[in-house]
Every structure is written in structure tokens, then in C-alpha cells.
Structure 1
């Protein structure tokens, strides 16, 4: 198998070998779209690099030189020439898109001689030196590990000295001084001269891209997104002739989505920058213009872009995320890949694609990442309450949904704080996010940046994670050193609560209340298609009437588990339940249970009504009683809590054992279910409850509760002169219950599996700990 493939020679269907970027470049070349010449070093070489103790294969650079020569013949440019220099980009590309997780170097091949040749050839010294300073910074960061801040300090000082607002206003002399300072930074860091040979630069760059595959941010991203070796094994390296978007006002660079990436509307969406390079847009260094403005600024080139977008979307039958460059009025495509989208966008585009006859209904259902549908439950800002809060600033709405939490400005601190307290809600606030910031995205509720646009790294990754995100909040001045940000005279310090609205771009001081989101109008259509093709029914976990109504709305075919203990958490019944626990004898306890019965009955009426025609499995009280006693200094409460406290609450006085010790509790719950059913049957509502007993380990335990059930059933049927069909079953969550299930089946009419407790009992670890720590 070859180690290197020219774009025109590669089999674009082999993404595992070429990586997503290489496959995309190959396919665009095959489609005769404008792609600059280049080649792909395969993922197999990356794997061999690691097998060979991080050394490149012996003959690789010889093969690379041969392919560079081929590019020279195609372009007429020369490698290491001071007359017409060939410059390349070196970019990573795994089989699965991992935006920003690995490294890229642009303008490779520049040195003190080739920069003069580039200046002379283009008759644009400013462009040549701007490209050179960009190359040194990227190379220094990616290859040598120099922190961006060191380069940024030099750049900021130069802009301040020249009174320039952004990079594009710097003159040639300023850029030359920056190049000199940048090289000094690299040489001080490495204790060696900055490499001037393009061959050496290219070898170091290839090694750096391979190393980035096992960099912290790439590893974390793969772990969090469950990207295993059989899905993506290693990164390819794409070496491509540079095309420049920073050659003047007839040049540009941008990122475009073939549909609106936040709401799925059938229109181009994205951003571009005049006189800039691609990293400026992707990294969020400058906030771009909306792509539709290109229609007025460069109408001919916008038309070419629009045609290319339509061609690629039609060809791949998927929304595309496309990078492009315009070099002195000539249009080039740099990359295409399937777009990262919100759940809302997945729903809309799936239905739209079927209507447009792009895909089948089955494909529409299977193209949506199932785990991402959870986003449809993400909260949104409560418009009634938001009026009470001060608006701090407004940025660009990059990823929908609302999030509130305390402001944290440092990536490592954000990770450490959330590790120490997983329930802590934080908003990560940055000037601009970089790929190395991604590990802090995972524990954060939302991301806020003062720079960048909808196509920036922060926006792209946040959308793929389903995290609310606001970018390009230009009024926000972020001060990392003092751990604060300011806007319109308001200061937010680390630990102060803020709210971001990724749907509108607004940022508020304090924690604005949120409400449930609107569901896309395409959602019921998708559910109806799923209903016709499904082979497995899905029931919900629902403990309250609101839960049941929501579950039915989302297509649940019943309730698989209704945990009755959750019903006691409501404010109007917590106190009553505590009184029941504190009761000193059975008569006192029964008096209190009389107050709880009508409350539970009402809940069951609403839940069964919401699920009319579908089964509702109601689990009787399960946890140990002491868990429901409040923290209190009251001596009686403390004494009762101590009396009831379990050494091992997972395997103690709970479930069926509580029902045997305190039969009046289970008797009340069973009665509430029968009473609720009787009320609905009277109204000709098809209620289908079934009662489930938790923690059963023996047939004797189950039969004991069955006798209570039978007595209540007989009593209610006499009272209403009606027969009721309410199934009686148990949960298999105790090892003994599994071993004696044939015995239990003689009494139980149905079984459910209690996988949480059963996992703990069988494997001796809890699911919660295992999933978050070592599985």
C-alpha cells in the first residue's frame, strides 16, 4: 500500500486511510472543482510513526520530495526559490471530523530568501511579510510548543505603536520587526536557530501533526465523543499548495455552510474576511462578515461559491461545512466535510432533504445522531423573567439554548473546579477559544467569547457538543490576569453568576430563569416516520404528571418506571411524609398516610390519563426512610434519622422489606393506584397501570405483598362493583431474584430489570462511579 496519494489519484471512499479532509479534497478534485494541488500522507504512516517510537518511516521524506516535485511541475512554482517560491499548508485529517483538535501550519516554505521572492513575484511586500509572520507563529506554536500569548504580546505592541485596530492595518516595516521578534521568541524557547530549509520545516511539521493525534485535546475529544480505533485510527497529513486570502482587497477567506447551521434554513450561512487567512476565521482572531454580504461585495465570486455549495451538497446528500479562499479574484475550495449541527437543525434538514428527494425517510431517521436529540430538551430564557435582569452585552448567537453559571476565565481552573464539584455550574469566558481549551468545554454549561464568529472554533465545537455558546461579544473586555471581564461599566469577576443565551446572543448579569424549549415543527413528522418503521417500543421514566405529558408528547409508548418516592418531594407533601416517618406507632402512621393518599391518587389519575391506552409501571416505595428526613437540629428528628440510618443503604432496609415492616405504606400506595384507576374507568378512560415491587429476593417476600394487593383489590372491586385488571410484578435487581425467577414467575405477572442495583450486586461497582472514572 502506498504511503502518499496525490489528490487526483486517491480513492476518496477510503476515509480510514485518507482521513476526512484528504477524502474530501480528493473527491472535490474528482468533481473538477477548483482545488489547489497537493497530496495526502495516509493514516497508516501515522500508526507506523507511533509503532516506530515516534520516528518517521525511512523513505517517507524521499517520497514527500517526489510529490513536491510533481506539484512544482503542475504549478510552475519552485521549492525554496527566491524568484517564484512554492509554499504549502500542512494540515491534519482523521476519518472522523475533530474540529480544531489537531494541528495545522500555513505558509510553510518561507524563509528570509523566499519571502523576498514572494514579495517580488506578487509585487506586494506587505502580503509577503504578513504571511511570513503568520508562518513563524503557527510553526512556533505547533512544532515548538510556544504559547500564543508570547506572539500576541508582540503583535499587540506593534498595533499599539502604529495605532492599528487590527493586523491588516500593519505596514511592511512593522511586519518585518514582528518577524524578527517572533524568531527570537522561538530561538529562546528552543535554544536553536529557526529552521530555514523548507525540507526541514516540512519534516518537522509532518511530525508535529502526527504528534497532535495523541495530544491531550485530541485524546479528550475522542474519549468524550466515543471515537474508537475502528472509527478513526490515526491522522492523515495533507500537504497542499498555498492559496492566499491576504493578498489585498481582492482576496478573502471564509467558512460557509450549505444550510443555516443553527436553524436549518435553506440558505448559505457562514462568514468571510477580506484580506485574511483561513486561521483568522476558524480561530476567531477576527470577527467575520456574514457570508450573504459577499453577494454585494464580490458578486461573481459569490455566484461561484453558491454553485460549488449546491454541487457538493447534492453530491454528498448532506449539509456541508466548506472552507474557501479567494486569491486575487480567483476562487478555491480548501475543504468540505459534513457539517456539525444542532438537534434542531438535524430535524429540519432531515425533513427538508426528504421533501427535496435527496434522501429516503429511513435515511432521514438514521442520519440524526441519537445522543444529540437531548438538545431539544435544553432550556431557553424565560422572556417574562429576563426583564428583571441587566443585559451585560450582545454577541453572536453561535449555538442555541440558554445556560447560567459562575464566570470562570481560566481553562485549567474550570476543569479543576468542576472535578472537585461536578454539580458546579460554570460559564467558560475567554477572549477567543483555542483547540487546547476544549477539555474545559465538557464540564462547562456554556461558552462565551469576546472575539470570533459563527464559524470560529468555539462555535463549531460548542454546536457539536450541544452547549449554548455566544461569540464575538466585542464590547466585552476580558482580563485573564485579573480574572474579570467588563462591558458598559459593569465588571464580572470569577465566581459571579452570568447567563448566556445562545439563541439571541445576549449575555445577562445574574442567573436568569429558564424554561422548556420549543420543539421544531419537523419533530412530529420525524416521529411519525419512526413510528411506521420501528421494531421496538420505548417507554419513558416519568415520576410526575408533567413528566408523563412530556413523555407522551415525545412519542413514549407508556411508562416503564414511575418511581413513587419522587412524588413525595413536592412542597405540599414533604412535611406530611416526614410526619409519617416520625410517627411512633402504626396508628399514628396510618393517620398521616390518609393525608397522602388523595395526593398520590391525584398524581396517578393525571399520569394514567396522559398515558391513556399505554401501560404505566408504578414502582412502590423503594429507598430507605432516613434519606427523606431533612437536615435538622431538632433532637427528635436527629434521633429518628440515627435510628433509621443504613450502613449500606443500597442493600439494607428498603423496597419490599420496608413494605413488610410497614405494610400500611404499601397498602396506601396500592389503594391510591386502584382508586385512580376506578376514577378513570368510570370516565371511560383506558387506564393501564401495573404495580411493581422493588428489591424482591424471594418468593415469600413477593407473596407477602401480593396478599396486601389482593386485599385492596377485593376491597376496591366491592366498593365500585367493577373488576379491575392491574398487573402485579416485580423488579429483577437482586441476584437471588434472577436465580429464582422461575419461582417468582408463579406470582409475578411481569418482570422489569433493575440494572443499576443488579450491576452493583453482580460486579461490585456502582454504575455511576464506573462510568465517570474507569469504564
Structure 2
């Protein structure tokens, strides 16, 4: 008959058959068959006929098709000794179906004893109940569709009875007893003749399809034999993934259950122990599927009396990014796909998973848990809780001395510049103020640490409560921050799976991505040689932002820097700067060397000076002891406190910071500039290619830039600019000039609007989009989360402007690039704010005429992938 199609591992459907008429499950079965795999044979009644079976004589056709199925499985429908049982699959084109699972057709009174001899009486009774439940569900749906209120209550009551029986560990009665009990509620003679049972079931399902409003004549019916992993000796059931779904190792991962129908109540064995012949067969199937579908697949199978049958194959939802990358690299190495394909196959944010540890969820089952908050930096972290930088650093020192667990979580309302050193040694940060762009989150991303912002958390002294969790100093907690979904905090120690970028295939994948990165580049935000080397290994083409203020917080420097800030005279300040200069020089030397041959943008001091000062009495006492030792006399505590108070600012973000510090204290920038060039010239002598770029922060007009770069003489006072300092250093040493650039950070609307004038003096622009967003929208990134939910509720802002660039900020960036390049056509433009790793922002930067983005080292691969994908799209459009 037309519209009914037989398939098997040896039989193919004609190419003229419209696959849309087979439904999703039908198409999957046909795909399996076309690969020549040992798929169970069957037939598909296509969508044109499936809802019309009540008016069509199909008995002869069905009998012929069942005879063909019997040849493959060595069973026959209605055979009292070795009966062929079948399943009916309602195959629609919808991913979700409201139809029940329909198994075991052909199970009638005359075959029950023979079936039970193979599988046991209890299992036989269970399969009868399963068959009855499926058909009762069909009858219930029919009664609802036909508004048969007389029959519906009886059917529903019997359905509840069957479901109650199936919930029992073992059926209470024998199979024949169940057949007799439920026969009155099913089609007439349902348990009499095997073929008639199948045909009557098909017609009842067909009738239901004809009344289903969701069936738009696109639902087919598929019939296949049933096989059983408990059908005597040499039988089993099982499943496997085509490779390890965590590591990506090309090795089957799964279990089989000897002489069991499925895994329920069964003890599984590793798939590699199934036997060499079947294992080789399964491996060939697995890797053929990977090549066909270009993804990891999951396969269910049954071995019945030694013969292997594949039950179904489908994509794998719960798999790691590492596993996908390993598969893609494998496919590319064998020329199954080209390199462009594998670059386009991974969404950039997924790379976060490879770069950070992940939770082993088997270890969290017994741990109290809080879910919620804001994801600051992804990954997973375990550690003992400490509520201050000082306490955490002291505990860390003691742990190292005693060879104890040195994992710690910094828990604070918010963090500031002085807390960077604690974040650096901690495994994670849990805070309750700010959000994705809060200081804790930004620094955590830079150092590859985990960050959660939980506004609900309450801290009282050395105790904290978060939801139902309560923990004190020294208690262990576990942070889990997936890229997708809500973060979680567990009370106690979970287990982690640590990442290995090299073993994961990430580094190889990055190198392939870089082949497509031609007109736009990715740099890193890095403040140390270690960070620079890490960024370079991840593919960074230079450093776009080196925050020099972070360098002064090291314990061997902070008091020297405080001495400089609180000096009474220029001479005292000069003496302190003289101590700091070799420290800065060594920093820059290491960073330049790690980035040999690539541009390194060093931002001169930006943070307000008061951030460096003592924050508590303990720090103040330590500073006073340092001063006494350094100067030979005990300082006045009251005088120090007065000077500290005088330096405090009401709004430090808009206060005495950035280039404004250089105007008031030119000697600070002079020290940093000398240190930069001392390091650069030293490396040049060592035959190392050095490309320094000096960035002036927080400028609002061209006059500031001109002053700091070129200096000025006025009323007898000489302000020495960067150019003069470099010339003086070079002439003192008799050196040849070194190529370098001086530019500025555009982070104020005034600077963006005045970009044309500023470009007269600045050779490059770097857009600090965190501050540009704050100053454009008038909102603080640390306080925005307090009212962001309300703004989201009423659609007052599109998303989080500290994650995705706001349209007004984009307009300012584009305007500044345009005006700047009109003045200086060779102007180099980059973006170095935390927006740099967001793929949507990357695309904007490419379209706006920027040359690069810069982001934290751990975000470099994400940005690189986003650039490569955008370049591929642009090439495709041009082609």
C-alpha cells in the first residue's frame, strides 16, 4: 500500500519519499537505517494515512510487513513459544508529544506463558500492565476528545489502578489475571488475537489523531519489534555516549545491564566489559554517528540472545565544552569538517567552562545549598571563610607554613583596591553589594577567581547568613557560578574538577581561531608578568590595559607608597618615589619581556590616593612602625590622621584621580614614566622587541593631554612631560630613540566629544567603557543592582549596561573614533573596559572602526572566538 514504508539496516526508503511526512521519530529511525546499523526493522504509516486507518483496510499489508520484521528478529507474532511483540510510536513533527509510550502489542492470552518462560512471570505481568496503561491513556484521550462523559470516569479510574500497580516493586498478580480485569475497558477482543490487537490499537490511535487539534496532518505512526535484554542468556541492555562527555576522550562511556530489561534496579557494568566483538561493533557505530552528525551522540541498545540491536540515538544535552572541542578537533584533523566549521560550532561564552573548575555534583548531594544572587566571575571554588583581607592573608600565611589547606573565600560587603591582594590568593569572593561590574567581580575575573554577589547576605562581625545558610569565620563553603543559570553557595566542601587548557584542547582550538582573526585583535588586561604570560598563552596580541595602581598594594610596597602620599615636603616625596621606581621598573621589565614583540599599554596611576591609605588601626600602626624605621623618628599619629582625613573625598570616582593626580603631583607620573623607559631600554639592550604604550587616564580635554605628554613652562615653573622625561633619560645614557606611543583613555563623555582635539596629541585611544557607562548614564556600577530589578521589570533599560554596551555609550564611542581619525588617520583605537569579552560588544567594536578589544586574561579566548566568528560572517557576506 502507498504511504506505508518498511525500513531496516538493509532496506532504504526511496529518495522520493517526503521525510516531513514521517515525523521526528520516523526520520530518526530512517537515518539510523540508512547508516546500515543493526536497527530494529519496522514500518512507518506516513502522515497522509495515519489519521485515516479506520476507513482503510490495512490488515493484509500489516501482515506482510510483520512477516518481514519476523525474519530479522527470529520471532513471529502470535507464536505461543517465542512471540514477536511490537511498539507503536506516535511520530509527530513536534519536539514534545502528549502521546503515551505504547509497548508490547502482540501480548495476548495465547502467548503469555511462552513469553514468561523467557523473561519470568513477574516481568510478563509487568509488561501486560505497561501495555494496558498505554492503551487506557489512549482511551482516556479519546473520551475527552469525543466528550464521552459516560465512559471517561471508568477509564480514568482504571488508569489510576494500573498506575498504582506499576508503582509497586513487583506486580501483585499474574499476567492473565490483569488481562481479564482490564479487557472490558479496551477495544473488543483486545487480548484474543495478536495481529488483531495491533490493528485495533492502530485504528484507535488513528481515530484519536483525526480529532487532535495539534495534528496538522503531519503525524505519522511507526511500528517496530520489541527486544529484551532479559530474554534468556547472552542478553543485556545498555547505553553509551560516543565519547567521554566530560573529558572528550575518544572512548565509549556508558554501562550495560546483563540479563536486565533496563537500568532500573540493575547493577551496571562499564561498557568496555561487554565483550570484544560487541565493543568493536559499538565503537564503529559511535564514531560513524559522530562523523555523520558532527556531535557527541547517546545510543541505547539491547542485546537479545547474543544479537545486538540499536534502540535509539540522540544528541547529548549534558556534555562539557571540553568534550565538544575535543570532538571538533578530531573531526577537523581527519578532514571530516574544515576549520571554519569548528570555529562556528562553539558559542563564545561556553569557553568559560573550560577556563575554570567545575563542581563534581555527586559530592554536593548532602550539602545545604543556597541558589540565587548575581554571577560575578564564573567557575567553582572551595575554601574557608574570612571576612577581611587582613584575616585572610594571615590565615593564608599560616596555612602555607603548616602545609595545611590554603583555600579561602573572601566574604565582604564589597571590596576595594586594597583587597586585591586577598582576592589574588583566595579561591573566590562572596560579596553582597554591587553586581557583575562590582570591584570584586572585575578583579576576580582578572585573576581567574570565582565571584558571587548575593544581595540577600547579611554579615554581622564574623558571622554571615544567606538564605537558610549560616556560616562563620573558618567554615568551609563552596561557590558554584555557571555561565548559564543561577549561582549557588553550598555549606561545606564539595569536590572540584580542575581545568587543564592544554589537555582540554583549548590552546589548539585558540590557534585555529586565530587563523581567522586578521583585521581586529584581542589584547589582555594584565598587571603582572604572570598575567601577561597567561594572556599570551591564551592568544592575546599584547596588553591593552596594565593598571599600575594594583602594583602598589603588595605588602613590600604599600607602606612606601603611603609614605609618598603623606609626605610633608617634596623632598620626602621624592625619597619615597626613589624607593618605588626600581620596583616599578622590575614590574614593567617582566611584563614587557612576557609580551615581547607585542604592544603593552601601561596606564599611569588612576585610583584616588585615599584608596591607598590605612583603613583601620592595625594598618595605621604598621605604617607608623615603618615610618619610624625609615626616618629614624616616631611619627605623630594625630598628624597622620589629619592628613588622611584631608585626602578623603566625597565622590572619589569624579575626584582627585587619574591625570588630575599628575597635575598636582607630577613627580608620581615622572617616576612611572622613567621606570617604563628604564625597563624598555634594558630589554632592547638584550635584543628583545619592546613596544611600550603609555596611557593617560581620566582626561576631559586636550589641554590635559598636551600638558602631560609635552609639558609646559609657566610663571617660572617647568612641568616636565612624558616626551621630555624620555629624552632626558635617553640622553643621559647615550641611547638611540625607542619607538613608543602615548595615548589616552576615553572614559568621560567630554573626552569622547572632544576626541578630535585630543587626537592632536594622543596617538591612540583606549575606551574605558566601565567609567564611560557610569558617567554617561549617571549610575554607579557598584550600586546599580539595588534598583536594576525595578528597571528590568518596567523595561526602562535594555539589559545590564555594565555587561552589554548601552546605545548612548556606543554612540559616544563611534563618535570619538570618527572625530579622532579625522584628526589623526593612523589613530589606534581599542576598548579595555570589562565589556571587552562580550561577543555583542566585540561585533560593535569591529563595526565602529576600533582595532582591538582588551579583556581579562581568562576572557581572551572568548573574545578571540567572537572575533573569528564575526570575521567569518563578514567574509561570507562579501563572498
Larger radius of gyration: 2
> Is this a same-fold pair by TM over 0.5?
yes
Structure-2 residue corresponding to 1:757: 771
Structure 1 residues 434-453: aligned runs within 5 Å? none
Structure 1 residues 57-76: aligned runs within 5 Å? 62=51, 74-75=65-66
Structure-2 residue corresponding to 1:122: 115
Structure-1 residue corresponding to 2:666: 663
User: Given the two structures, how large is their TM-score scaled by the length of structure 2?
Assistant: 0.54
- CA deviation map 1:297-353 (0-9, x unaligned): xx4x44543443343334335543333333554433344345565454445444443
Report the more deviating stretch, 652-661 or 697-706: 652-661
Report the Cα distance in structure 1 between the residues aligned to 2:51 and 2:292, rounded to whole angstroms.
Answer: 36
Q: Per-residue deviation at 1:699?
A: 0.9
282, 285, 289: which one pairs with 2:269?
289
Contact 2:297-2:315 at 8 Å conserved across structures: yes
Structure-2 residue corresponding to 1:568: 552
Report the more deviating stretch, 267-276 or 596-605: 267-276
Structure 1 residues 131-530: aligned runs within 5 Å? 131=127, 172-173=171-172, 241=224, 243-248=226-231, 250-276=234-260, 280=263, 288-295=268-275, 299=277, 301-327=278-304, 329-337=306-314, 342-379=320-357, 407=364, 409=366, 414-416=369-371, 517=500, 519-520=502-503, 526-530=509-513
Q: 1:724 to 1:422 in 2, by over 3 A?
A: closer
- CA deviation map 1:387-419 (0-9, x unaligned): xxxxxxxxxxxxxx6779995647xx7353656
Q: Per-residue deviation at 1:616?
A: 0.7
Structure-1 residue corresponding to 2:707: 704
Report the Cα distance in structure 2 between the residues aligned to 1:12 and 1:617, rounded to whole angstroms.
Answer: 63
Q: Per-residue deviation at 1:354?
A: 3.8
Contact 2:227-2:302 at 8 Å conserved across structures: yes
Structure-2 residue corresponding to 1:619: 603
- CA deviation map 1:33-68 (0-9, x unaligned): 4156477999xxxxxxxxxxxxxxxx9994799999
Structure-2 residue corresponding to 1:731: 745
Structure-2 residue corresponding to 1:394: none
Q: Residue 673 of structure 1 aligns to a residue in which SS?
A: helix
Structure-1 residue corresponding to 2:698: 695
Q: 1:645 to 1:267 in 2, by over 3 A?
A: same
Point out where structure 1 has 5 or more consecutive residues left out of the alignment: 43-58, 96-101, 145-150, 160-169, 184-196, 211-234, 380-400, 428-443, 446-466, 468-482, 485-494, 501-508
Q: Per-residue deviation at 1:21?
A: 6.7
Q: 1:289 to 1:672 in 2, by over 3 A?
A: same
Report the Cα distance in structure 2 between the residues aligned to 1:203 and 1:316, rounded to whole angstroms.
Answer: 36
- CA deviation map 1:229-279 (0-9, x unaligned): xxxxxx99997757454544544333323344444444433222234556x
Report the Cα distance in structure 2 between the residues aligned to 1:277 and 1:407, rounded to whole angstroms.
Answer: 31
- CA deviation map 1:120-166 (0-9, x unaligned): 5733433244457789999999x99xxxxxx9xx999977xxxxxxx
**Is 1:683 paired with 2:686?**
yes
Contact 1:85-1:118 at 8 Å conserved across structures: no
Q: Per-residue deviation at 1:89?
A: 5.9
Q: Per-residue deviation at 1:749?
A: 0.4
Report the Cα distance in structure 1 between the residues aligned to 2:310 and 2:111, rounded to whole angstroms.
Answer: 22
Report the Cα distance in structure 1 between the residues aligned to 2:62 and 2:299, rounded to whole angstroms.
Answer: 26
Report the Cα distance in structure 1 between the residues aligned to 2:298 and 2:561, rounded to whole angstroms.
Answer: 56
Q: Residue 122 of structure 1 aligns to a residue in which SS?
A: helix
Q: Per-residue deviation at 1:742?
A: 0.9
Q: 1:267 to 1:130 in 2, by over 3 A?
A: same
Q: Per-residue deviation at 1:659?
A: 3.1
Contact 2:229-2:236 at 8 Å conserved across structures: yes
Report the Cα distance in structure 1 between the residues aligned to 2:597 and 2:775, rounded to whole angstroms.
Answer: 35
**Is 1:672 paired with 2:675?**
yes
Q: Residue 313 of structure 2 aligns to a residue in which SS?
A: strand
Q: Per-residue deviation at 1:753?
A: 2.0
User: Given the two structures, how large is their TM-score scaled by the length of structure 1?
Assistant: 0.60
Q: Residue 728 of structure 1 aligns to a residue in which SS?
A: strand
Q: Residue 539 of structure 1 aligns to a residue in which SS?
A: strand
Q: Per-residue deviation at 1:750?
A: 0.8
The count of corresponding residues between Structure 1 and Structure 2 is: 595
Report the Cα distance in structure 2 between the residues aligned to 1:207 and 1:709, rounded to whole angstroms.
Answer: 82
- Cα-Cα RMSD: 6.0
Point out where structure 2 has 5 or more consecutive residues left out of the alignment: 70-75, 142-160, 183-200, 383-426, 429-449, 451-467, 470-474, 481-491, 621-637, 712-720, 789-798, 805-879
Q: Residue 357 of structure 1 aligns to a residue in which SS?
A: coil
Report the Cα distance in structure 2 between the residues aligned to 1:740 and 1:603, rounded to whole angstroms.
Answer: 33
